[in-house]
Amino acid sequence: MLIKALIVITLLAIIASLGSGMLFLVKDKGQGNRTVRALTVRIALSVSLFALLMLGIATGHIKPHGIYPSGPAQTAAGQNIK
């Protein structure tokens, strides 16, 4: 449960960093380093989010799944394929 909370917090921090980068870009009109710093923080947060996801999958706290549920494949007529 802790890893899921960390993932949500990291996602919110990424959104906040992206918003602050936009604000600094508009306010500073391209003069200054605050925009670059905010976007650098966002990239670091994105990398840490990826690492948290991989850690969650490796430890079994997060179960990855595909688009289709697992089970026997079926044809259009509803017959199982072996």
pLDDT digits (tens, 9 = 90+) for 59-71: 988 888 877 666 6
- Specify the number of domains making up the chain: 1
Domain span including residue 39 = 2-59
Distance from CA of residue 7 to its chain's centroid? 8
Confidence of residue 72 (pLDDT cuts 50, 70, 90): low
Q: Is residue 78 part of a domain?
A: no
Contact 18, 37 (CB under 8 A): no
Q: Is 6 exposed, middle or buried (0-12, 13-18, 19+ CB in 10 A)?
A: middle
Q: Is residue 75 part of a domain?
A: no
Give this prediction's pTM.
0.71
Q: Is residue 69 part of a domain?
A: no
* 32, 40, 41, 71 from 25: Cα distances, Å: 9, 14, 15, 50
Distance CA 49, CA 26 (A): 27
